[in-house]
A and B are shown apart, each in its own frame.
Chain A
Amino acid sequence: MDVKIGKPINIAIDDLTRVEGHGNIKIRIENGKLAECVWEVVETPRFFEVMFKGLSIEMVPLLAARICGICSISHALASARAIERALEIEVPGPAQKARLLAKHAETLQSHALHLFFLVAPDFLNAHSVIPIMETHPHVVETATRIRGFANMASDLFGGRTTHPMVIKVGGLTQIPRKRQLKALAKDLDATIPYLSDAFDLFKTFTMPDFIRETEFVSLKGKREYPFIGGDLVSSDGVVKKEDDYLAMTNEYFVDFSNSKFSRLSRESFSVGALARFNNNYELLHPKAKEAAAELNLKPGVHNPFFHNLAQLVECVHVMYESKEMITALIDSDITQHETPYRIKRGEGVGAVEAPRGILYHHYRINEAGKIERSDCVIPTGQNHANIYYDLHKLVEKLIADGKEEEISRLAQMLVRAYDPCISCSVH
């Protein structure tokens, strides 16, 4: 495309592809200046906060899972945790381990789907993974192996890959038997070598050069890289208790989006793999730190395209940590899968690091064990404002560099880097 400065440019990307859900990018450039740039979230809402109302707590994690087909395990876990904290239920140790393993399986499955199916085509000049099956069979083989293990693990710990029925208030319906755990450990050993193939591939991709400083929000780990519960932290120095999540999310409305937007210390903040990496780098598995070094990735990264690389580092982390946890679980008492509980009035918050960032469920429960009020704040919802301001800065930079013809492609890649889960954000 031959673009002369001064000539108005209109870029309209309706229904951005290779993302979950429906979103549009609209950019208008007049007299060589950015006149309009919006990230429209047009997904139709389902009103989960209403759907929960009046439901028995027993059914709530099952419904919560249906907020999102990709991160259903995270929703079920955040939901169960919120209820458990409201009713002061302590989940038995082995069940906590099995839950984290389910969580890791989802993280791996989701990151690998994003990296290989949604992101890689941009760098391999393809419109989807389908032609890549022919041109780069090895890439697809790597994805298949990694996701194959992740599927096997989520089948085992969640009951299936999407919409787990095993996660319940008080723990899990069951913990896999030793024999199954051993088979899984064996598959994991056979899968780990494929990680280096994934790294070899991503090292050949050059992430676009773009920086916009922002605030990163995540769980604050104590001894472990955090995924389930604990304090909340931002890279601008805000620290809050889990129950105080509203002070972190500050949702507000914008007229071009069916999803609410969020802000904290600045105009926007970012959640997800890069936020976790930046805020909790020290707690990564040593193998994951090595992997980060191999990619020249150090904490304090403000290039949003590096979400992709942070996800790759997390794949390493969850695989190695899963290995250790499966071994530990084999030796623990798997009959300890749930704690019986009594119904009472209560209120609780559950925060979980979903693949795309920190997720909160909050319920008020009445004396009959039914939901009176609920609130869910979704990772992509928290990222929308950051995506919006990133898009502005990216387009302005490309205009300044005289690279208008790159705008459409890079704007799409930018949004995709956040791995947005749009239908989830408009729950």
Chain B
Amino acid sequence: MKYLGITLERPKIGVFGFTGCEGCQLQIANKEETLKNLFNSIEVVNFREISSDGCDDYDVAFVEGSITTESEVTRLQKIRNQAKILVAIGACACLGGVNNLKSRFPLSDVVKEVYGMHPVDTGPVRRLQDVVSVDIDLPGCPISKSEFEWLVRNLVLGIKPQFPQYPVCVECKQQLNSCVFDMGMMCLGPVTRGGCNAICPRNRFGCWGCRGHSEEANFESLMRILRERGFEDEHISERINFFNAFNGIL
């Protein structure tokens, strides 16, 4: 395999978790039918959630979660120094994700509200790329197993992974799904990057942007449509800022 100028055969991988729910890591262990094939093409040397073998000799690091403490910064830097390729997995790692919702309040109030006077180490929510250089962002909350496997295949074959740049709407329409707008619901599908097969609209729930924004997203026309349909700015803003995916455009 050759990617980013690096050649690898049956790459050794490590999976690491920071501030998050471990849902992304779980997707990797999930759906065992394909696990055997996956483990034939890669060697898992460090994956604390499922294995007691902890080895620091890995080529590719898959990293879940946001960075919220100084000790996490140090741990992430160590991983960056070791890994030839560092992949951020999931909205928390790529965007800050839902963790960012705490940033609406001053940090001191945040700690006091949950822990009272009990001391707890926490800081602002950072994406991995705010702390170290990241080679690939694998989006989603959670990531999808099939997209993870697709990425691994690309890495093993040395192909630069090309993520879809078109919006969720494209996949939604391809599947002849009825648009949730017509059911009176809000949807961020027009501005969110595809690749999830429009799983939320397919389940009669509007997209809320967990994969980040698509290329050339036209926010102005989205806002116009949403306002025309009678959604209030406050409501729209809550949707848009949920995963911290749209740089706070509203």
Chain A interface (Cβ within 8 Å of chain B)?
15, 17-22, 44-47, 49-51, 53-56, 59, 62-63, 66-70, 72, 113, 117-118, 121, 127-130, 133, 140, 143-144, 147-148, 151, 159-163, 165-166, 168, 173-174, 253, 258, 423-424
- Pick out which of these stretches binds chain A: B47-55, B155-163, B218-226: B47-55
Closest Cβ neighbor of B125 among chain A residues:
A46
Kindly state the separation between the CA atoms of A113 and B50 in the bound complex, as whole angstroms: 9
A-B contact pairs, 18 of them (CB 8 A): A15-B48, A22-B17, A44-B72, A45-B114, A46-B68, A46-B102, A49-B114, A59-B239, A62-B242, A69-B22, A70-B26, A117-B50, A121-B52, A128-B53, A130-B44, A151-B30, A253-B115, A253-B118
Please report which residues of chain B, range 52-68, place their CB below 8 angstroms from some CB of chain A when the two chains form the complex: 52-54, 68
Please report which residues of chain B, range 186-200, place their CB below 8 angstroms from some CB of chain A when the two chains form the complex: 199-200
Q: How far is the CB of A309 from chain B (nearest CB, A)?
A: 22
Q: Which 9 A-B pairs have the closest CB atoms?
A: A69-B23, A128-B51, A159-B203, A173-B204, A51-B101, A127-B52, A144-B32, A17-B52, A69-B21
Kindly state the separation between the CA atoms of A43 and B84 in the bound complex, as whole angstroms: 27
Q: Is the CB of A47 within 8 A of B52?
A: no
- Contact partners of B235 in chain A: CB under 8 A: 56
Contact of B94 with A by CB under 8 A: no
Known: A46-B99, A66-B98, A173-B203. A148 touches B33 (CB 8 A): yes
Kindly state the separation between the CA atoms of A168 and B204 in the bound complex, as whole angstroms: 11
Contact of B113 with A by CB under 8 A: yes
Q: Is the CB of B242 within 8 A of A59?
A: yes
Mask, B80-118, CB within 8 Å of A = 1, is: 000000000000000001110110110001110111001
Q: Is the CB of B122 within 8 A of A144?
A: no
- Contact partners of A15 in chain B: CB under 8 A: 48, 54
Contact of B212 with A by CB under 8 A: no
Kindly state the separation between the CA atoms of A129 and B203 in the bound complex, as whole angstroms: 33
Q: How far is the CB of A306 from chain B (nearest CB, A)?
A: 23
- Contact partners of B105 in chain A: CB under 8 A: 50, 53
Kindly state the separation between the CA atoms of A46 and B96 in the bound complex, as whole angstroms: 12
- Contact partners of B142 in chain A: CB under 8 A: 69, 162-163
Q: Is the CB of B39 within 8 A of A159?
A: no
- Contact partners of B30 in chain A: CB under 8 A: 147, 151, 161-162
Kindly state the separation between the CA atoms of A59 and B205 in the bound complex, as whole angstroms: 11
Closest Cβ neighbor of B113 among chain A residues:
A50
Kindly state the separation between the CA atoms of A127 and B122 in the bound complex, as whole angstroms: 33
- Contact partners of B36 in chain A: CB under 8 A: 133, 140
Q: Is the CB of A18 within 8 A of B52?
A: yes
Closest Cβ neighbor of A158 among chain B residues:
B203
Kindly state the separation between the CA atoms of A19 and B49 in the bound complex, as whole angstroms: 6
- Contact partners of A51 in chain B: CB under 8 A: 98-99, 101-102
- Contact partners of B53 in chain A: CB under 8 A: 127-128
Given A70-B22, A174-B203, 16 more pairs with CB closer than 8 A: A21-B17, A44-B68, A47-B110, A66-B97, A68-B21, A69-B25, A70-B23, A127-B51, A127-B53, A128-B51, A128-B52, A159-B199, A159-B205, A162-B27, A166-B204, A253-B118
Kindly state the separation between the CA atoms of A59 and B98 in the bound complex, as whole angstroms: 11
Kindly state the separation between the CA atoms of A163 and B98 in the bound complex, as whole angstroms: 12
- Contact partners of A47 in chain B: CB under 8 A: 102, 110-111, 113-114, 122
Q: Is the CB of B69 within 8 A of A44?
A: yes
Kindly state the separation between the CA atoms of A144 and B30 in the bound complex, as whole angstroms: 9
Q: How far is the CB of A225 from chain B (nearest CB, A)?
A: 26
Contact of B120 with A by CB under 8 A: yes
Contact of B29 with A by CB under 8 A: yes
Q: Is the CB of B122 within 8 A of A166?
A: no
Q: Is the CB of A140 within 8 A of B32?
A: yes
Residue among A15, A19, A44, A56 with most chain B CB within 10 A: A44
Q: Is the CB of B32 within 8 A of A143?
A: yes
Contact of B18 with A by CB under 8 A: yes
Q: Is the CB of A168 within 8 A of B205?
A: yes
Q: Is the CB of B29 within 8 A of A45?
A: no
Kindly state the separation between the CA atoms of A20 and B24 in the bound complex, as whole angstroms: 12
Q: How far is the CB of B229 from chain A (nearest CB, A)?
A: 16
Mask, B116-128, CB within 8 Å of A = 1, is: 0010111000000
Kindly state the separation between the CA atoms of A18 and B29 in the bound complex, as whole angstroms: 12
Closest Cβ neighbor of A147 among chain B residues:
B32
Closest Cβ neighbor of B196 among chain A residues:
A160
- Contact partners of B130 in chain A: CB under 8 A: none
Kindly state the separation between the CA atoms of A133 and B36 in the bound complex, as whole angstroms: 8
Closest Cβ neighbor of A56 among chain B residues:
B238
Q: Is the CB of B23 within 8 A of A66?
A: yes
- Contact partners of A118 in chain B: CB under 8 A: 50
Contact of B14 with A by CB under 8 A: no
- Contact partners of A21 in chain B: CB under 8 A: 17, 22
Kindly state the separation between the CA atoms of A127 and B101 in the bound complex, as whole angstroms: 38
Contact partner of A50 (CB less than 8 A), chosen from B54, B72, B114, B203, is B114
- Contact partners of A56 in chain B: CB under 8 A: 235, 238
- Contact partners of A130 in chain B: CB under 8 A: 39, 44, 51
Kindly state the separation between the CA atoms of A159 and B48 in the bound complex, as whole angstroms: 28
Known: A17-B52, A55-B238. A163 touches B205 (CB 8 A): no
Closest Cβ neighbor of A375 among chain B residues:
B114
